[in-house]
Every structure is written in structure tokens, then in C-alpha cells.
Amino acid sequence: MPDGLRGLIAGVRRFQAQIQPSHRELFEHLAHGQTPEVLFVCCSDSRVDPSLLTQSPPGKLFVLRNAGNLVPEYTNGGGEAATIAYAIEQLEVHHVVVCGHSGCGAVTAVLEGADDASEVLQSWLAHAGDLDGTIRAHWPELRGQERLHAAVHLNAHAQLDALRTHPSVAKAEAEGRLELHAWVYDIGTGHVTAFDSRAHAWLPLADAHGEDPLVHELEGPAPEPHDGWLDHGPWSATLVSVGPDRAAVRAALVQITGSEQDVDRLLARVPAAVLEGLTRTEAEVVQAWVADAGGTVEIRG
């Protein structure tokens, strides 16, 4: 099994064994419907996780993702148009956030021309507009990363105008039921800037929104950090053998414990390496994960 898929399956097992049971009431509530307050438009880039960035629990954000966090102008069709209409007309969200990010590959392709890209990709990137021309006209001195930085901000802000071509957006905004926001997230630092329409400038997020209700709507208790699976129950899992693929077993155990150092100490004690304080479900998950990676685990309770 490919390592990438193995990691996904391991993640599902961990979710089913630990996360879902510990948040059972939340998921039972969400099973009956959703009431998100924000439509969050962001890039498909694997480094961007809107729920992690905003520390939002399930049910809080209605997310629209695509390459470049682009919003095509309204043309009576398309997945983006339908998603936007559903969020505003049916879910009645109060805010739309368009969030760009540092080092965006789609924006880079727009700046560089993407001449070797497929026709479908070039057609999609055209929704970003003439970023290169705008920068040349207003900031001809910009080069390299500074130029990309400016383009990412221009692109995020330009999508607000594209949003306003959608009838549902224009109507809700005119009636005071909807606010539009442009953000840019710096992946390396975690810093977020927001466009302040009053100052007509990009400011740090807190300065741009201040006491705006959006700040409070996105606030909430942060998810508790995973602190290992100890002290949950009376079961134990003994790592009897590692098998031929030690690296795969190690990776599986790191997924379980969250600590590379703890796993290395555990592997040093094979065949008497024991994880204690597990529930039965957790012990069975450990056994299954390690077995998938080629090792052997005995469980007791």
C-alpha cells in the first residue's frame, strides 16, 4: 500500500477511535444540519488549512477551495457560483472571507504567464485578471518575492469585486446582511493581514477588524492539543516485532503517540515495548496500524 494512502487510513482510524468518541455530542448535533456563519474562500494548496488557521470546529466554516482562491464572475453557472449561492441563500452566512496565502503557485503561474500549462488551467487562471500588468503600472520596481507578495494581495482583494457580480452577494450586501473580507495568510510565520476598506490598506488582522463582530464569530475554544493516548483505559499493546519495514512501523507509531522521541525509546525496547493506559478500541487500532506496517502487536485488557 502506498505510504500516502496508508497515512490517510491511519488517520481515519485514529479519528474513529479517539476524536469522534471524545466529541460525540458535537458530531451528533452536526448530523442534523449545519449553521455556518462564514463562507471561507481559500486556495487548494495543501499547506493551507482554514479550520486550523482559524481554530474553527466542524460546522463553523462553509469552505470553497480552488487553485488560487479565485471567484469567477457570475455567469449563471459553475460550481463556484452554486456554492456561493447556496451559502448565502440557504445557509445565510453573514461573512465571506477570501483568503490568499504566501507563495501561491496559482498566482505565481499568473505572473509568469503559464504558457506551458494546459488550456483548462490557463482558462481558470484568467479569472485572476492581469496581475502582472497592474503591478507593472503601479509598482514597476518590484521584483521576485516582493512582486509575488503584492500579487497575492491584489488577487485576494480583486475577488471581492468578482463576488459582487453574483446576485445573491450583491443583494445580501446591499441589505446589510453580508460583509466581504480579504485576508492573506503567511504560511511561514502564521501572520494574517486583512484589507481595511476604511483605511484602504492592508493591516494586521486584529487592527483591521478590531471589535468587528467577525472577530468574535471566528473566536472560540481552540481544540485541545493531542497529548498521547495514555491514561484512557486498562488495555495495553505490546510491540512484539517490527517486521521488515521498520520505518513504516515507526511512522505508524508516531501517528499514534505524536512523539518521535517516545517512539524511538519504545522501539529500543522491542520485543517488550508496551503502550499502556489504552481503551480497547485504541489498543485494537494500534494493533491494526502496526500490522499494516508489517509489525506484530499483542493486546491485553
pLDDT tens digit sequence for 59-88: 999 999 999 999 999 987 789 999 999 999
DSSP state of 5: H
Query: What is the total count of domains within the chain?
Result: 2
Cell of 126: 484568467
The answer to the question of residue 289 being in a domain is yes
Q: Do 210 and 255 fall into the same domain?
A: no
| Whether residue 120 sits in one domain with residue 148 | yes
Average pLDDT, the chain: 86
For position 175, which CATH number holds? 3.40.1050.10
Residue 233, pLDDT above cutoff 80: no
Within the chain, where are the H helices?
3-14, 20-22, 24-30, 50-54, 79-85, 105-112, 119-125, 131-138, 144-163, 167-174, 205-209, 213-218, 246-257, 260-267, 280-292
Task: Tell me: do 75 and 132 sit in the same domain.
Answer: yes
My answer on whether 139 and 170 are in the same domain is yes
pTM of the model: 0.72
Q: Which domain holds residue 257?
A: 235-300
Q: Quick check: is 90 in a domain?
A: yes
User: Band of the pLDDT at 207, cuts 50, 70, 90?
Assistant: confident
Q: Which of 218, 243, 275 is the last residue of a domain?
A: 218
> Are 194 and 114 members of one domain?
yes
| 92 and 180 fall within a common domain | yes
For residue 7, tell me if it sits in a domain.
no
67: nearest Cα among 96, 40, 100: 100
Cell of 252: 505508524
